[in-house]
């Protein structure tokens, strides 16, 4: 232990100096990056795992340990992973399966494979994976011209791409932010470069937008034109305030009929929360789950019936994916091949059918609003506030990080309840008294 501590003490100052000299990380982050490397080296020794080179098994085990530590914040395992990449791929020059300086010069498959590998190491959702890969490919098409290589990429390339999206392609602020997150991932985790100051980037304009909200009567009209499983799904969205993919990914174990509570796992920001289970859907939901259980038992008999498990639970509990408690409340009607594991199973329902059902219902009901499925969530929040529910409680039910985010619905309420009286109405009212 003494030799190990001495080795860490001697090595890490050099690592910090290396990061500062090459400007691979902000100065304020450098001591923390060194700290995580020190913890990893100690972890490897205690687990009798080799840390001479980049040992992916050891890294995954170390990051999983951090995620399970309640004292560790959500962002810290990501910083620790960044530290290990910088330490092995750059400082020591001992890379894993794909070294950053060996990635293809034209943004080819090697680069995208490395992006995919690192995304999956962090347990990002499959939709995020696809989005990142599409944006990074677009960035390659824009930035890699002629003989330019990935290793030549600078902050200027990043900034120019974002400005191009805003000025030439006229993308929305949210779309530009998607591109920003994807290319930032490429720079930090694959190329091992910090992006520095992006202050001169042209950002897409984002004005304050009030959410579209249905009235109570419009909600009733909408549901009258939706039937079957889509209606149950839509009613649960409105009755619980869940996001569409939160409900699609809901597991049987996370519905508590006795307490009338739904537990949302790994929602936005990878946070858990609870919300209300509407009494109006309880009986129909129980009946629906009977059919789902029968379908699951048929899948098991046919040799399937295993669902994807979140994060590292699949390794920790290898048979849990076949248990009833872990099945999706709203499974797909068809078996499919998991794009990551290659296993045949029954994934959760797609969001496309409910999106289409709500779109058609809007037309049939004659509701002339620019609305979508997400409008049900906005309506949930606004109607609760109308009913006198405390805004902090609404914030918790929605899973908002800050109450300022929830405050937007108070603006909607104010516009609905305290609209000023038109001077035209006052004019005609005064005429009636003449």
Is there a catalytic annotation at residue 164? no
Quote the radius of gyration of the chain (alpha carbons, Å).
26
Is there a catalytic annotation at residue 124? no
Q: Which of 273, 296, 347, 377 is catalytic?
A: 377
DSSP 23: T
Whether residue 300 contacts residue 322, with contact meaning beta carbons closer than 8 Å, is answered with yes
The span from the CA of 128 to the CA of 359, in Å, is 25
Phi first, then psi, for residue 411 (nearest 5°) are -65, -40
Take residue 419 and report the two structure tokens written for it. Answer: 């609209």
- For CA atoms 132, 133, 135, 140, the dihedral sign is positive
Whether residue 349 contacts residue 332, with contact meaning beta carbons closer than 8 Å, is answered with yes
Q: Please give the C-alpha separations between residue 356 and each of 22, 233, 350, 379, in angstroms, as whole numbers.
A: 52, 13, 11, 19
Other CB atoms within a 10 A radius of the CB of residue 408 amount to 16
Is there a catalytic annotation at residue 328? no
- Given phi > 0 = left and psi -120 to 50 = alpha, else beta, which region is 112? alpha
Calculate the CA 70 to chain-centre distance.
21
Take residue 213 and report the two structure tokens written for it. Answer: 């909200």
> Dihedral, CA atoms, 120, 126, 127, 128, nearest 10 degrees?
-10
Is there a catalytic annotation at residue 268? yes
Q: Which residues, in sequence order, are bridge partners of residue 348?
A: 331
Q: Which of 243, 296, 347, 378 is catalytic?
A: 243
Query: CB pairs under 8 A, 24+ apart, for 38-45?
Result: 38/8, 38/12, 39/80, 40/80, 40/83, 40/84, 41/4, 41/7, 41/8, 42/4, 42/8, 45/4
The span from the CA of 302 to the CA of 218, in Å, is 44
Is there a catalytic annotation at residue 377? yes
Is there a catalytic annotation at residue 243? yes
Q: Which of 138, 265, 268, 284 is catalytic?
A: 268
Q: Which of 54, 88, 328, 409 is catalytic?
A: 409
The span from the CA of 205 to the CA of 318, in Å, is 47
Give the DSSP per-residue string, 79-97. HHHHHHHIIIIIIS----S
Take residue 80 and report the two structure tokens written for it. Answer: 């620790």
Whether residue 122 contacts residue 81, with contact meaning beta carbons closer than 8 Å, is answered with yes
DSSP 334: S
The span from the CA of 124 to the CA of 49, in Å, is 26
Residue 362 neighbours by CB under 8 Å, 6+ apart = 222, 369, 371
Q: Which residues are catalytic?
A: 243, 268, 374, 377, 400, 409
């Amino acid at each position: 232990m003494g030799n190990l501590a001495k080795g860490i003490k001697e090595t890490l100052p050099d690592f910090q100096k290396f990061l500062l000299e090459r400007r691979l990380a902000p100065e304020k982050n450098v001591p923390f990056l060194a700290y995580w490397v020190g913890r990893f080296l100690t972890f490897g020794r205690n687990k009798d795992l080799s840390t001479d080179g980049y040992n992916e098994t050891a890294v995954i085990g170390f990051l999983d340990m951090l995620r399970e530590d309640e004292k560790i914040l959500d962002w810290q395992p990501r910083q620790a992973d960044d530290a290990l990449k910088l330490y092995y791929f750059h400082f020591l020059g001992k890379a894993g399966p794909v070294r950053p300086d060996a990635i293809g010069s034209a943004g080819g498959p090697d680069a995208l494979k490395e992006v995919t590998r690192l995304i999956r190491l962090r347990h990002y959702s499959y939709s995020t994976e696809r989005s990142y890969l599409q944006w990074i490919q677009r960035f390659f098409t824009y930035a890699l011209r002629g003989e330019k290589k990935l290793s030549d990429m600078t902050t200027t390339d990043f900034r120019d791409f974002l400005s191009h999206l805003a000025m030439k392609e006229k993308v929305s602020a949210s779309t530009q932010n998607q591109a920003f997150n994807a290319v930032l991932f490429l720079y930090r985790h694959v190329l091992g470069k910090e992006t520095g100051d992006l202050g001169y980037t042209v950002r897409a304009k984002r004005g304050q937008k009030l959410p579209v909200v249905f009235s109570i009567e419009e909600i009733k009209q909408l549901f009258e034109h939706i039937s079957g499983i889509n209606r149950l799904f839509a009613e649960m969205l409105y009755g619980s305030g869940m996001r569409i993919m939160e409900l699609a990914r809901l597991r049987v174990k996370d519905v508590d009929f006795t307490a009338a509570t739904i537990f949302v796992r790994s929602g936005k920001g990878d946070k858990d929360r609870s919300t209300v289970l509407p009494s109006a859907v309880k009986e129909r939901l129980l009946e629906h789950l009977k059919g789902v259980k029968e379908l699951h038992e048929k899948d098991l008999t046919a040799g399937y019936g295993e669902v994807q498990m979140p994060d590292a639970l699949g390794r920790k509990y290898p048979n849990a994916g076949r248990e009833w408690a872990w099945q999706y409340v709203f499974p797909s009607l068809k078996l499919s091949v998991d794009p990551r594991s290659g296993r045949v199973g029954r994934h959760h329902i797609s969001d496309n059918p409910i999106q289409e059902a709500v779109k058609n219902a809007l037309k049939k009901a004659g509701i002339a609003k620019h609305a979508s499925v997400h409008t049900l969530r906005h309506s949930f929040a606004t109607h609760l506030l109308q009913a006198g529910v405390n805004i902090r409680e609404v914030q918790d039910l929605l899973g908002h990080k800050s109450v300022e985010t929830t405050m937007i619905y108070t603006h909607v309420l104010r516009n609905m309840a305290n609209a000023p009286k038109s001077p035209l109405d006052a004019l005609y009212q005064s005429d009636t008294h003449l």
